Amino acid sequence: MNNSEWAESYFPIYTADGIQSLYSTSTMPIHRIHENLTVLLAVSSGKGSLHLENHMYELTDGMVLLIPAKSDVVIQGDPTHPLHIYTLSISTQEQKGSLPMEAMGRSSVLTAGTHIEFYEPAIAAQLEELYMYRLPGNEVRHMRNQILFHQVLMSLLERMEARYIASEQPSMERSIAFMENHFSEKITTEGLSEIAGVSRSHYSTLFKQLTGFSPIEYLSRLRVHRAKELLINESASLREIALKVGYKDEFYLSRRFKQQTGESPSGYTRQKPFQRVAVWCAPYASHMMLLGLEPTIIISESSEYVSTEGMPSPQTIRFIHSDSSPELVKSALLEANIELIIAANLHLTLNELSPERLRYIAPIAEIPWMELGWKEHLRLIAQAIQRREQAEQWLSEFEREEQQAREAIQQSQIVNETLTILVIKPDSLQIYGIRNVGYVMYQSLGLRPPAKIAQEIQRYGDQFHSISILLSELQDYEGTRMLVIVFPDEKGSKAHSEVIFNSEHWKGLEAVKQNRIYDLEQEEWVPYNPVSIRLQLRRAVSLWTSIQ
């Protein structure tokens, strides 16, 4: 089986079917074109006019037109400026028979039935060269012709895409956004085409080009995937779910559900655990791997927290950087046939996406990031992937370990002191709260934070991550002992921390004078997922039981 990216490009195959040179002379001023294929016409020299349907185009040097298949075209030359044009017939072979079942075929943009015209003298020159060497004398020239032909297609596609983005796409996007946000209401293709400002038949063609689905298929996917989300959450009866997603009753929902998934809604809730899950945010991937399921795709700025000590190494995960375009991310999710997407709205927004824009791909399990702590993250993810029993068992074992850790440090001096967690980044200073290493120190072990941090923890609980401070404010957050984590800059240097350590504000801290500063490594103490938290707990016990 060929697993290369190249082999899985399901776009059409284009070939040059024929090329002609047409002159408009005093004895033959008119030419007619009627081809069963798409025709690319380029004006080499002269002037004239072209009549296509109800449109009339002025022909001048360098003008290029893409003419849909089976169009009736009449070309009239200007007697005072003899017209010379080239026409290239383009054949398209759709890749259908060889596609795997889960793959999404890509329709041809060049043969979509839309005529387009623009000024592109370079294409006219390329067609002239193709005509001159249409009967290549050797294989090198034949290959040159192939390259030239595809350069012409590339120029065409780039111009069409630019024009589409500048004109029709915003209107199409508005209509798709309307469907995504109102799928529970009555929606018709006529209504959507009015929003887009195009004809009903043209709308369906554009919709398929843009999404890979017909409007009816897209709407059905939105409704069924939303029904799946509600089934996962066990938040309503089947009848209530049907009404919420836009179906008149549970019987109609069941029929549509089975058509799309091959099973009934009740069967879906009892199915075997998911196999193809995508997650935004690497910590969520660690939660999944703890529960015995490796994500298919991770969208994150880093994969470092997935490869955690005590966890099996990722085997088949595909990592997509969070800076990737929304189009690339959506295409990857579709091609991987993702069954469930786990994400926080916060991270989707950073990708210029939302649950509404992704629901046609797969159901969305929204797991808030900052609003909840890691234990609730684990519980919600376990519920989404149907592994709640494993999660509760793990949490029960961890809570016993927490109790043992608290007992282990009771003889340590640290239990009677205050502890500050200082994080030095290239562009900021932060005092950590109750997340990351702060969870282990303040929650698991029950150690005391500085008074101002204690107030913030009391006010915000699990949501209090950190507070940014000025160097001059450092003394206000001073504890009798201090943990320090230095984040390197993009080049891996920690030189920026020397400005802090050489300052009078730092040297004036009592913890510095008493040599009660503990340097911690970012990779070991910052990750915020169950396995990392457990490892941090064990390191913390080792640290505090070793001090005098």
| Per-residue pLDDT reduced to its tens digit, 128-185 | 999 999 988 899 999 999 999 999 998 888 877 666 555 545 688 889 999 999 999 9
393-421 burial, b at 16+ Cβ within 10 Å, e below that, comes to: ebeeebeeebeebbeebeebebeeebbbb
pLDDT score of 101: 37
pLDDT score of 269: 67
260 in Cβ contact with 220 (< 8 Å): yes
CA distance 42 to 65: 6
| Per-residue pLDDT reduced to its tens digit, 61-88 | 888 998 888 889 999 988 888 899 999 9
88 in Cβ contact with 127 (< 8 Å): yes
pLDDT score of 518: 96
Contacts of 377 (CB under 8 A, 6+ apart): 283, 284, 287, 367, 529
| Per-residue pLDDT reduced to its tens digit, 511-545 | 999 999 999 999 899 989 999 999 999 999 999 99
Could you please report the per-residue DSSP string of 227-285? HHHHHHHT-S-HHHHHHHHT-SSHHHHHHHHHHHHSS-HHHHHTSPPPS-EEEESHHHH
Residue type, 147: I
pLDDT score of 109: 61
More confident residue, 397 or 311: 397
Please name which of 422, 546, 542, 395 lies closest in space to residue 481, comparing C-alpha atoms: 422
Strand order in the sheet with 318-321: 318-321, 297-300, 277-280, 340-343, 364-366
Sort strands 277-280 and 340-343 into parallel, antiparallel or unpaired: parallel
Which segments within 414-459 are labelled E, that is strand? 419-425, 428-432
| Per-residue pLDDT reduced to its tens digit, 192-209 | 998 888 888 889 888 988
pLDDT score of 12: 75
Q: Sorting pLDDT into bands at 50, 70 and 90, what band is 220? A: very high
pLDDT score of 488: 92
Q: Does residue 106 register a pLDDT over 50?
A: no
Q: Does residue 118 register a pLDDT over 80?
A: no
113 in Cβ contact with 1 (< 8 Å): no
Rounded to an integer, the average pLDDT of 56-61 is 86
Q: Is 264 exposed, middle or buried (0-12, 13-18, 19+ CB in 10 A)?
A: middle
Rg over alpha carbons for the chain, rounded to the nearest Å, is 32
The pair phi, psi for residue 32, each rounded to 5°, is: -115, 140
Q: For the chain, what is the mean pLDDT? A: 86
Q: What is the pTM of this model?
A: 0.67
Task: Go through the domains of the chain in sequence order and give each one's CATH number.
Answer: 13-163 (2.60.120.280), 169-269 (1.10.10.60), 277-386 (3.40.50.1980), 402-545 (3.40.50.1980)
| Per-residue pLDDT reduced to its tens digit, 229-272 | 998 877 778 899 999 999 888 888 888 888 888 888 877 766 66
pLDDT score of 202: 84
Q: Sorting pLDDT into bands at 50, 70 and 90, what band is 227? A: very high
Please report which residue ranges of 25-138 form alpha helices under DSSP H.
Answer: 121-132
To the nearest 10°, report the CA torsion of 181, 184, 189, 191.
-70
